[in-house]
């Protein structure tokens, strides 16, 4: 958060209501935002209002089978549109790339490590993906992770896992899985970084669009809220995430389509790598585009167009058809 003097906010703004999901991770992230803003704007009252989303309520069906556009955000977005809350804190990877009319991405916070993480059962202590025994059962609810790991580790078995982070870890510890694939960022934010056995490198698993960053959604034209949110804006992260979200939007892929990314910001230059994979991991289309960070949106569009020319659209069409039949 910037240490510069706090921007001026209209005097009539005395209470700002923050929307959050009820999960432990969502609340940790939301209260971090609240505390940062409270320190920057001591004269404003910030209130946290919690809501349950569809994604929180449906825990016995794979995410890919119930649809995911707005799965963890819709109820919060309705709250902003009706005026019940002023802005909502999301894990940016959960926020659709096309937002409802009247809402916008007001701020992107500094990114935690965006990598995927392997967490293993105690009996596999010290092992990593390439040393786990044949047939070891790995839990993941992400088609992106599933496709890439199937490609690199065909000797492993994969099984869907749902529930919040603590629920998933409890299933692992009970022996239902030999390992789980989770986000490094979520584990660290919950103080569980010591459970990470392997931060999976990008040459094995490109991460989800926006993973590791928080996205704060608000109403278009709400200048008081936008002014407040600028205290949390982290432009290096924002440029990277704008490129990633533009890439995903151009491919028209949701979070549950096997699309992965990696971004590197070097001064004013941004390099975006993207991948589209088939569900079985047999076909991978990957490419990279480098350009000026200020042109982040165009970098994402260019990369998507290049991957389409290399066969990505055929893979995506096949996946969507399979999921619709399922």
The neighbouring-strand residues paired with 285 are 276
Tokens of 91: 């894990």
Please provide the DSSP assignment of 133-169 as one string.
Answer: PTT-EEE---HHHHHHHHHH-TTSEEE---S-HHHHH
- Among residues 15, 90, 19, 93, which one has the least CA distance to residue 51? 19
Say if residues 143 and 279 touch (Cβ distance below 8 Å): yes
Q: Report DSSP state, residue 73.
A: T
Distance CA 87, CA 30 (A): 11
Which residues does 183 contact at the CB level (< 8 Å), separation at least 6?
A: 93, 114, 115, 116, 117, 207, 208, 211, 212
Is 224 marked active-site?
A: no
Distance CA 131, CA 220 (A): 50
Q: What are phi and psi of 219, to 5 degrees?
A: -80, 140
> Exactly one of 68, 86, 94, 224 is catalytic; which is it?
94
- Among residues 128, 269, 291, 265, which one has the least CA distance to residue 201? 128
Distance CA 157, CA 148 (A): 13
Active site positions, annotated: 94
């Amino acid at each position: 958060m910037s240490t510069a003097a706090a921007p001026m906010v209209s005097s009539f703004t005395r209470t700002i209501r923050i929307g959050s999901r009820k999960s432990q991770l969502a609340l940790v992230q939301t209260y971090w935002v609240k505390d940062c803003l409270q320190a920057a704007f001591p004269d404003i009252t910030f209130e946290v209002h919690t809501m349950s989303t569809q994604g929180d309520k449906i825990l016995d069906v794979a995410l890919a089978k119930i649809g995911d556009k707005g799965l963890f955000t819709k109820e919060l977005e309705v709250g902003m549109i009706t005026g019940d809350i002023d802005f909502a804190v999301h894990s940016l990877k959960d926020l659709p790339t096309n937002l409802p009319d009247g809402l916008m991405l007001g701020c992107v916070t500094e990114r935690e490590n965006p990598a995927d993480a392997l967490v293993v059962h105690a009996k596999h202590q010290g092992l990593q993906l390439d040393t786990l025994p044949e047939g070891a059962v790995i839990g993941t609810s992400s088609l992106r992770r599933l496709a890439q790991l199937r490609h690199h580790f065909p000797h492993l078995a994969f099984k869907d896992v749902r529930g919040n982070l603590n629920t998933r870890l409890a299933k692992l510890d009970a022996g239902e899985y030999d390992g789980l694939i989770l986000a490094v960022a979520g584990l660290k934010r919950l103080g569980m970084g010591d459970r990470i056995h392997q931060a999976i490198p990008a040459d094995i698993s490109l991460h989800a669009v926006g993973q590791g960053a928080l996205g704060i959604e608000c109403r278009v034209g709400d200048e008081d809220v936008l002014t407040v949110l600028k205290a949390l804006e982290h432009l290096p992260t924002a440029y990277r995430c704008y490129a990633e979200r533009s890439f995903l939007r151009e491919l028209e892929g949701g979070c549950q389509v096997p699309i992965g990314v990696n971004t590197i910001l070097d001064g004013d230059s941004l390099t975006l790598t993207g991948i589209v994979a088939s569900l079985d991991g047999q076909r991978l289309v990957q490419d990279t585009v480098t350009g000026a960070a200020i042109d982040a949106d165009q970098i994402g569009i260019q990369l998507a167009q290049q991957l389409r020319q290399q066969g990505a659209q055929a893979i995506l069409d096949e996946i969507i058809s399979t999921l619709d039949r399922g």
